[in-house]
Amino acid sequence: MRPARWLGSIAAVTVFAAQLTSPATASPDCSPTVDDRTFASVSTLRDLNAQVAGFGVRATGSPAHHRLISWLEHRVQHLSGMSVRSERFPIVRWQPGPGLLISHGVVPVAAPIPYSAPGLRSGELVKLPAGTPITAANARGKVVLRDFPAVDRGYFAEPVLNQDMVDAGIAGAAGLIVAFPFPHEQMRGYWDPHLGTHYRVPGVFVGADAALKLQIGERTTIGVLAGRFPASTRSLIATLPGLSSERIVIDTNTDGVGWVQENGTVGLLALAEHFARQPLRCRPRTLEFVFATGHLHRPAEGSEFRARALDGEYDRGSVAFAFVLEHLGTREFLPSAGSLQPTGAAELSGWFAGSPVLSQAASTALAGRAVDRTFVLPGSDVPVPGRVPPQCSFGGIGTHFHSHLVPTMAMISGPWTLWAPAFGAEAVDHERMRRQVLAAGDAITALGPVPRDQIAGPYLDLRRARAAGAPTCSHELPPEWAPRR
């Protein structure tokens, strides 16, 4: 996710106009957009989001995650015409428990760093400034204190946090403390990195107020009371037949924390319920709703495995395009006077689209539903000439489908509240969420009868170039275990 780069890509959006026809055209009495009067209301979406958040931390493969998946399965399998199956993945799950920190007395811990090593360790507390590598020479046997990286949004810090945890393990450190510039209460339950790589040392987050209690040079005890267990997790795939067996694949992830990550499940439920109410004649294509697992345990990233399957099927004509929904209805919170405060605006968001037809459908849908502060973009990374595609990243799990050269759209935002569940319902504007999901439904409806090759546009040449040996994006997933020293 790289929203800071989205603004620089706005000029790259291409407007496409054409006469669109298809042999699988819906009946003329079918609505060209989603009927606002029958679609899930704001209060319904809020209630659904409250139920999802009410399962608590949905760590991949945890009991809470299993309960959420079963709840989703129950809802979708009772929709008219819907068939449901699962894809299962073995994992070593990490079950979070409390963090412990003692340094001149007990220091409040906002959260354990996800996938950090269980157990208690002690050592001298040392502070290493940003940019100073953690090595055996400066960290062996010690508890390292770091400030949270200075970033525009919290998720930008993930590569630094991950590297520090890996380096601390290799260096033989006793543990790692990361201090936020925000108060303890706002950072309770913070969850990132979300790579799902098991680290070799315990690590904890502390708020700015708690960090003041730490004494550099003092013997400090750090601990994480978590568990590691062999387990399995599953993605749900719900299929709603259309006039054609060609599929539109709509994807989100199910594991998450709080009201923001991942409320795309609410959007998919609302869309599934809407399209299941439509008569068959109004569904030109089959719709596949993927409630994927593994985004918080990325060695089992269900969206990546689904994308690999679609990539293999695409040339056989069974897939039209993929559409990913993540982090809907988010409000903007920015640092102010030492804490995160709402600005009163919506968080900036991106609607990534990989072809002119997909871009035009997105622009039209956003305008039709008056969704502001959202930019239609071709990617979030710097283009690489000669690579197919030139831009690999769609900011989130849409990247998996686009980088596999499946025609893709992806709607996503990346607010400070993304990994900070303490903000609760305050983080989400459900009226905005509704307009976003309606816009998504409008785009799906408009593209339903559009010929597959027109939707694909440049993807067809990109797939031919890849087959001829052109370089493409990496599809390597994170390791399940960090390296040893």
- pLDDT per residue as tens digits for the range 368-386: 999 999 999 999 999 999 9
Residue 11 has pLDDT above 80, yes or no: no
Q: What is the pLDDT of residue 247?
A: 98
Residue 5 has pLDDT above 80, yes or no: no
CATH architecture of 97-225: 3-Layer(bba) Sandwich (3.50)
Q: Which of 241, 26, 352 is nearest to 361 (CA)?
A: 352
Strands of 313-387, DSSP E: 319-325, 331-336, 339-346, 349-353, 374-377
Helices 430-447 and 42-54, packing angle to 10 deg? 100
* In the chain, % of residues over pLDDT 70: 95
Residue 276 has pLDDT above 70, yes or no: yes
* In the chain, % of residues over pLDDT 90: 93
Alpha carbon separation from 398 to 110, 395, 429 (Å, rounded): 31, 7, 23
In this structure, what token pair is assigned to residue 344? 């009163």
Is the separation of the CB atoms in 110 and 191 below 8 Å?
A: no
Alpha carbon separation from 93 to 89, 108, 303, 481 (Å, rounded): 11, 26, 18, 11
Top-level CATH class of 36-93+231-468?
alpha beta
Q: What is the pLDDT of residue 161?
A: 98
Q: If you search the block for the tokens 């706002």, which residue do you land on?
A: 186
d(CA 240, CA 439): 20
In three-state secondary structure terms, 148 is coil
Phi, psi of 121, rounded to the nearest 5 degrees: -145, 155
d(CA 438, CA 445): 10
Is the separation of the CB atoms in 396 and 413 below 8 Å?
A: no
**What's the DSSP call for residue 454?**
H
**pLDDT band (50, 70, 90) for residue 24:** low
Q: What is the pLDDT of residue 22?
A: 42
28 or 392: whose pLDDT is higher? 392
Exposed/middle/buried for residue 175 (C-beta within 10 Å: 0-12, 13-18, 19+): buried
Phi, psi of 354, rounded to the nearest 5 degrees: -100, 5
What is the rounded average pLDDT of the residues 40-58?
Answer: 98
**What's the DSSP call for residue 451?**
-
What is the rounded average pLDDT of the residues 39-54?
Answer: 98
CB atoms within 10 A of CB 476: 7
Residue 10 has pLDDT above 90, yes or no: no
Q: If you search the block for the tokens 């001829």, which residue do you land on?
A: 468
Q: If you search the block for the tokens 């428990």, which residue do you land on?
A: 97
Q: Which of 382, 417, 469 is nearest to 5 (CA)?
A: 382
Phi-psi group of 301: left, alpha or beta (phi > 0 → left; psi -120 to 50 → alpha; rest → beta):
beta
**What are the extents of the domains in the chain?**
36-93+231-468, 97-225
